[in-house]
Chain A
């Protein structure tokens, strides 16, 4: 074995990010040499805003070998087929951004191009009628497609809603079982090494010192190591994404749970609604320039559909990212590496992506800069992609009912996004660059949903016969409907998997 193998990994902070990292690293670095320690303090609360996820989380779960039914049971989880956006393109309008695909391509022509022509020819249903996930979501139905599913059920992609603190607890159990040592304590100081400025150890308030070769900073917004110790710097994106506060509160609701997240725009931001098994997660994201803390809390409470189950909790943030997510021997994951509001449920995904890239570029004690630089380059790309996609939601709107929306509608957008929009406006083209997180259907869903209509469609579409295409599309639409009607309701499905225990055999008894 490499003599430079990392011996001690110290994870600072035990929220969602800390335990996701601990679980994955303990699973993948079980080499008999690397020891993983996580320091957290019960005094410091965790944020856990992001209770909604996107489909790539399934690959994290499967990397860990997590049994999905156990996971759903342990986290009060529900399934998620997409996000419903209300009042975004204009007040009174709604659309769904479903997971998965729109229709089937015909002779190499993307489905949304066919749909764009069809819509010019005659009144045509919304594009979501050709999404398996959207059709099932609209009926409140869900089932796992299974690996053997054929068309159209194989187009159903899903993610989860869950209670983030239960999720952290679930992963903690997993990680501790694989040998991660948890230390209760508050980090009071960070010691840097003279020669290269690497973090050598962290000191706890009670005087204990914890040494490490590699430190993972999961300490949240403040970035205890990455910022307070290493002064990495932060790129502020609030010129594009002016929301800088959130207020969150769970409430009671009358089931069954919807298999989708809802995001409703309001005059200075938006409100999330995340159905869990036992409660509804709600939160209002807003710009403090346009709404006061009290107004925001009042607005949130007014919009709840059931009794609030806690006091509203206020969270301030600055959208942006740390200049280097990996600096010297410190890798920042989660909020310490950057923050983009959870409009597209990307918080947990950004943690997961950071973990996956760290594993792919895992260093040894010589810390070759080439790996660090590549990590930073890739993470920056992911953050930028997410940022552009979020900015799209704010910018592509006809709302002019508040200063907030007037600013968003008319602001200068990032060049990368401007180029994407121009390609769409002309002939409905979408290209997915490099490792971009959101695929073509996601961009199509939001651009169509928010009322961006291209001038025309791709010329190649006209090579296909109009009647035949119309018939094929009608056939697809019927298939989605028919299959969706056969799925169990989301509530039934959850009840079923939670009740699923191995059948108990009858036990014979002594009878005298």
Chain B
């Protein structure tokens, strides 16, 4: 047996990131002899929990945790999600859906969208969304699980995620983590003790004077980065040049009863507003650039655009887009907001935590803390943040809006290199390539680029393997099958009742 194994891990901070990490580490490593996993958090410090919407990757995390889906849906007041509806991004009055899952089906060895582009050139006016079950069912408020036993049905490839109450989610994971043996200490950290020679963190001191020592520290302390920044001075790579939004107001409101399985992002004059329908209420927030709108005006805009009575006062959050230069330094790994921040336009916050955990598992250290492994962790993390950044910038940049200085700024900004390359590839022949570990698939890029009004000059030459009439016939057939399949699905409301019927969750307190 190795003698250089870690004896203890301390997770600092107990929001979504802290409890996801604690729950996952104990699930995977809990059986390692001699390994103690602890979490310290203070009830006095609120958690942020903006990210109530997720992407399909969360199903991998749930599978790893052996979470029972109906269970989890009930416990977190969750709704199912088939994609994101973007309103007023290209032009005011226009909207599109970025669905999870696929468009149509690949034919003649090439991606479906080339056939769609060809159809368009032949005069078929049907929009791309008509070929996605996620879009059609989502806009009708319908949902069902994928049916792997029906390979010829579009339902076989439907992909979904969840929208949930982040504090209930943290509570749910806390229950799992504690049951698996994580020891939670209540207390506020007042000091971080570092080794005089190596600079490694040795312990944190709590307000009551007690010390918590560990071999590895996971910094989940939020924006301030108690260990990674305040102690280890990682430095922050500031991306506000490309993503100028730096504040948000968040407020829950009464549910209008409409539980569309879609998160909605509506562009506003100096940013955008989210709408996340849960079972018991709807989450809302306005993400904005403080250079372009005052706090008061932003709050007023948000409050004027709720579809039910507000259930709290709007809460302000300040942030800077970007990431910690080195999310892992010595024996400290930063996850969640301590590691970096990207606005939740594509619901990536929880995913970034999850992939950070996965990377940490893959490169799980020993007491020697190998520098090459740490560098790999950092390089991969920065790459992931960069990919997501590029995808977010696409939304702001590919627009025709010229109704405010904010949109003028975004439209005219110089896109990052990676994005500029992707845009150029698409404009010519509709080509989309996904580099190895990129989070967003071809479908996602296609959805947003087409949705935001970008039109390629032409399509893949191989689409002409099908005669023109055959292309048109097939396009009509795909649309028809998708439309009829959507009709056969239950509404989200019905689906939740059929699959989660045991408790009357709507009466539960929204904690």
Binding site for B on A (CB under 8 A): 27, 30-32, 64-67, 70, 173-174, 176-184, 502, 505-512
Contacts and interface: CB of A to CB of B under 8 A. Distances in A.
B502 A70 contact: yes
Contacts of B92: none
A512 B154 CA distance: 14
A511 B481 CA distance: 9
7 contacts: A65-B503, A176-B71, A183-B179, A507-B150, A508-B481, A511-B152, A511-B477
A502 B145 CA distance: 14
Contacts of A505: 488-489
Given A27-B503, A66-B502, A508-B484, A176 B175 contact: yes
B503 A32 contact: no
Nearest to B497: A502
Contacts of B502: 64-67, 70, 174
A507 B68 CA distance: 26
Contacts of B153: 507-510
B152 A506 contact: no
A507 to B, nearest CB: 4
Contacts of A30: 508-509
B407 to A, nearest CB: 40
A181 B504 contact: no
Given A32-B509, A181-B179, A512-B107, 20 more contacts: A64-B502, A65-B502, A67-B502, A70-B501, A173-B71, A174-B503, A176-B71, A177-B75, A178-B503, A179-B75, A179-B172, A180-B175, A181-B175, A183-B178, A507-B155, A507-B485, A508-B484, A509-B152, A510-B478, A512-B477
Contacts of A508: 153, 480-481, 484-485, 488
A116 to B, nearest CB: 46
Contacts, number: 73
A84 B71 CA distance: 40
Given A502-B498, A508-B481, A510-B154, A32 B147 contact: no
Contacts of A509: 150, 152-153, 481
A27 B503 CA distance: 9
Interface string B58-82: 0000000000100100110000000
Main secondary structure of the interface of B (DSSP, over half): helix
B474 A512 contact: yes
Interface size class of B (residues with CB under 8 A): 35 or more
Contacts of B508: 30
B325 to A, nearest CB: 38
A181 B75 CA distance: 13
Contact of B175 (A173, A179, A502): A179
Contacts of A31: 509
Interface in B369-393: none
Contacts of A180: 175
B231 interface: no
Contacts of A65: 502-504
A192 B72 CA distance: 37
Nearest to A183: B179
Contacts of A512: 107, 474, 477
A67 B478 contact: no
A510 B171 CA distance: 43
Interface string B481-511: 1001100111000000010011110001101
A429 to B, nearest CB: 43
B509 A177 contact: no
Contacts of A66: 502
A448 to B, nearest CB: 41
B105 interface: yes
Contacts of B179: 181-184
A507 B147 CA distance: 10
Contacts of B178: 181, 183
B112 to A, nearest CB: 11
Given A179-B171, A182-B179, A183-B179, A510 B481 contact: yes
